[in-house]
Chains A and B, each alone.
Chain A
């Protein structure tokens, strides 16, 4: 075959190509697997040995030339402006209506996921509780001034004690010490109930709604969320608590978040501390562009919750031996975490049902 004529034919044909579709047809014809050139090269064996080499070199050279021409043509067609004007790509796409999760759901999911990854099981319990599980088991007797730390919602009717004693079984004798039901002021009752029914080591978190009879403002609501944690074992220490809390804060916010603890007091922990976190907006400096940081108000540290080493009396109350086990407990607020993460200004948005708020997330 006349390789020279083939080459010219191919190049002429390439001249005429004006778009990618025809270019592709051209490529298949002249450079494809079943093209004349490819077959020719594949069947070099039918030529006598002397001619084989010379013909091979020539055919390869033509193939290479055509490939380069193709490459240039391909590139040039890419920058071709022949078809612009057909579609305005800046026109908005078709809007789909999507549903939204409540920001608390998203915050809780993230918090639970981080703790689960550290081996914490999620425990839940009732919102309506007895005085025993909410206070007494936690070493907060009724005459103690510490009771004032939690303003309680009591429910009617007060229980008829004599009738109750007839109603309840032996195993629930502990519930007897109640005069009425109340709405739990923290999720600590869940921890007590869990410890009563499980042997150590314990590693749980207890998220749930809690209720405090307090005046509401931008940072306080009377019906809100809490997430408590508990880790009990033979050697669980304060240093372990710091590690776990730091890991959690760094994963929830950012790796450069710092943890600070301050002296505090809870009847159910000793030592007790307040958990503070460096403000991630102003990076703990208190100021942003010369003005007081809007999130931490210039304080540099944000209060995120409380914690402590579980009081031996609490351990005894659930039937554990404080000489054998010890551990930490903490309580943090998902509302607060959500507010800081998303810069939400008022806690009351969460239970307002205002779609203009929820649909932002």
Chain B
């Protein structure tokens, strides 16, 4: 909102420079910037807080704020109308059919006005505040609005059928053409200014073409009213019509303003356009707004602010906004707040007023009194952070992507739309759904970064958003990608698998505690042959796999990509407390290696099981350290080599004992079709 420095001086003494004034107001009242300087004068751009538009959206309003804040008197005299001409009641009539939507309707009339350009001083002030001068009558009403905050509307009285104004709700389908030559079809809840012949304007929002002030206008009505805020707001939003008037009305103006502004406008019009002001005012005002009584307790305010305020100081600070102050009982004042301060309704509002007038920065900080005890831990958050720690220590870089995905992502991954949340009004087509997987984002990251880096090792901890019917289902996942210009599928697959196994070990899971198997449900994003899920007990906690080539290509990536993901919450529930110490072995381990050829389709897990079962008493560890599959090797065979670790808890094993174990193992393997080397 634009406010002119010199215009403010009409109402309050200001000795501060525009810059200084802007600073004072910004701290205690509203954000004020010096927008333009013209010599010693200046135009301010003021951002009003929503709760202060009702009283401060005008020069008088800002002047009152300055007077309150700097404790200076306000210099304001209400305009006096020189009334000549008959009584307005003989000239016009007003009918309000929906009293609940019209708090006040005040009307004056002028006859024999001459429409022409406004005088220079008036045009200058309007322009400074960002308004375009039109003609003397319209300009005068705008001037009064900028000065006093009350929107006014002037219209040609001769266009009003039988000079009877009817304020009513719209009927569905009615059409109104505004002064701007735009036509609106109404829904049926909007408030209208009408006459028996048709529509004259959208109440509180925009005037109609019918009744607009033109060169031929001789007699005018000036309307100064107070319309229901909610209706004005809905009308403004529905028809996308935001005006200086609608903005003020939707913020709940003081009905007591209308007469004041009406008189000001009428006298100003007479000054610049001539004519006769008819006697009196039609003033429909059923329920007069009265000063609101609020209890201000010294104890409450001091307690809320944490600073001692005395009763005398309360009185001193608040007197300018009160019609009357009475003492209720010791330490409590009953304040009768002037009606223009629509934001002061309850004791907490008074507390705010006191605080900002004293100055937020003047109140001293005080340490709170609270029990000294550690806050309860958020274990879920801590676990998730530990997951991040693990991957960073494994050399991965953490990324963060937007929580959305595009229509294309949905198609590529063939997500079931019935299980997704779609955004009603997305910010772009890229962000039309809430993401149901971390992979689309990670693939985009991979594509973008492969331009600059040869190897990609990234992960993200974030939410999957799914939908069950109407219920949302958000879950925390940690997922990552391994890729690079020279990435080979088997090597990145096993690297990802090893990573997960390492993580499980970090969180206390032995190799016996989990099991790798085919993923339980169809994975659209991973290659069927190169995907595995890890289960702890009956819980599937994660998956590792090579991303489907079709998917990878859809993201313009040339390299192979391995993807892993873990379901954080179920995993956390399965993690036992701390690692337990295992006593160190007293007797030395015996190490042996064994190599063999096996049919290519023999699974490692099976071979390991056979080996363990062949030597249950002393064999402690079996570790695959070499695997070789050549294209032409012995008709579909692969070569495997294992480290074997034998141990007894009560003695050192002899070579003979170990040889015996090896023999058992070899025999069991040969039964399986292995060829020992």
Contacts and interface: CB of A to CB of B under 8 A. Distances in A.
B449 A355 contact: yes
B472 A181 contact: yes
Given A223-B404, A353-B445, A355-B453, A99 B346 contact: no
B365 A260 contact: no
A183 B422 CA distance: 11
Contacts of B352: 270-272
A121 B376 contact: yes
A99 B395 contact: yes
Nearest to B27: A262
Nearest to A273: B360
Interface in B436-463: 441, 444-445, 448-449, 452-453, 456-458, 463
Interface stretch (A6-14, A15-23, A142-150): A142-150
A143 B393 CA distance: 51
B425 interface: yes
A119 B425 contact: no
B449 A354 contact: yes
B388 A105 contact: yes
Interface in A24-42: none
Contact of A155 (B234, B376, B424, B452): B424
A219 interface: no
Contacts of A239: 305-307, 363-366
A126 B366 contact: no
A215 B596 CA distance: 64
Interface string B372-394: 11111010110001001001111
A180 interface: yes
Contact of A98 (B363, B371, B381, B395): B395
A99 B391 contact: yes
A91 to B, nearest CB: 24
B659 interface: no
A109 to B, nearest CB: 7
B470 A160 contact: yes
A132 to B, nearest CB: 15
B251 A145 contact: yes
B376 to A, nearest CB: 5
A343 B375 CA distance: 32
Interface residues of B, number: 90
Contacts of B380: 124
A126 B474 contact: yes
B424 A238 contact: no
B540 interface: no
B283 to A, nearest CB: 27
A215 to B, nearest CB: 9
A270 B306 contact: no
B402 interface: yes
Nearest to A209: B403
A101 interface: yes
B233 interface: yes
B50 A263 contact: no
A126 B471 CA distance: 12
A354 B445 CA distance: 7
B479 to A, nearest CB: 13
Interface in A100-145: 100-102, 104-105, 109, 116, 119-124, 126-128, 143-145
Contacts of A146: 50-51
B34 to A, nearest CB: 13
Interface stretch (A54-62, A76-84, A240-248, A281-289): A240-248
Interface string A158-170: 0110011001000
Nearest to B369: A235
A119 B424 contact: no
A74 interface: no
Given A143-B230, A353-B444, A355-B397, A326 B303 contact: yes
B395 A164 contact: no
A99 B465 contact: no
A263 B27 contact: yes
B273 interface: no
B348 A155 contact: no
A278 to B, nearest CB: 12
Interface residues of A, number: 80
Contact of B397 (A104, A109, A222, A358): A358
B304 A326 contact: yes
B233 A100 contact: no
A246 B365 contact: yes
B349 interface: yes
A102 B400 contact: yes
A157 interface: yes
Interface in A210-237: 211, 213, 216, 222-223, 231, 233, 235-237
Contacts of A359: 397
A311 interface: yes
Contact of A353 (B50, B368, B441, B470): B441
A272 B304 CA distance: 12
A86 B307 CA distance: 73
Given A119-B370, A122-B381, A263-B28, A128 B465 contact: yes
Given A101-B392, A121-B376, A271 B355 contact: yes
A174 interface: no
A252 interface: no
A222 B28 contact: no
B401 A353 contact: yes
Contacts of A233: 368, 370
B368 A102 contact: no
A101 B431 CA distance: 25
A312 interface: yes
A38 to B, nearest CB: 40
A127 B462 CA distance: 11
A207 to B, nearest CB: 9
B427 interface: yes
A264 B378 contact: no
A265 B396 CA distance: 44
Contacts of B250: 145
Contact of A240 (B26, B306, B458, B474): B306
B356 interface: yes
Nearest to A326: B304
B363 A99 contact: no
A309 interface: yes
A213 B428 CA distance: 11
A108 B463 CA distance: 17
A126 B465 CA distance: 10
A35 B644 CA distance: 51
A336 interface: no
Contacts of A144: 50
A181 B404 CA distance: 16
A213 B424 CA distance: 11
B398 interface: yes
A309 B356 CA distance: 13
A222 B424 contact: no
A154 interface: yes
A156 B394 CA distance: 40
A19 B514 CA distance: 59
B452 A265 contact: no
Contact of B395 (A97, A116, A350): A97
Interface in A191-214: 201, 203, 209, 211, 213
Contacts of A222: 427, 431
Contacts of B305: 237-239
22 contacts: A99-B457, A100-B392, A120-B375, A121-B375, A128-B465, A145-B250, A156-B421, A157-B470, A164-B470, A183-B434, A216-B427, A233-B368, A238-B305, A239-B365, A240-B366, A242-B364, A262-B360, A271-B348, A271-B351, A309-B304, A353-B401, A356-B449
Closest 8 CB pairs of A and B: A239-B306, A237-B306, A271-B352, A265-B49, A353-B445, A99-B392, A242-B365, A261-B360
Given A128-B434, A237-B305, A272-B352, 20 more contacts: A99-B395, A99-B396, A102-B398, A104-B400, A119-B371, A119-B373, A122-B375, A153-B425, A155-B422, A236-B368, A240-B366, A240-B368, A242-B363, A242-B366, A243-B365, A263-B29, A265-B52, A271-B360, A312-B346, A358-B398
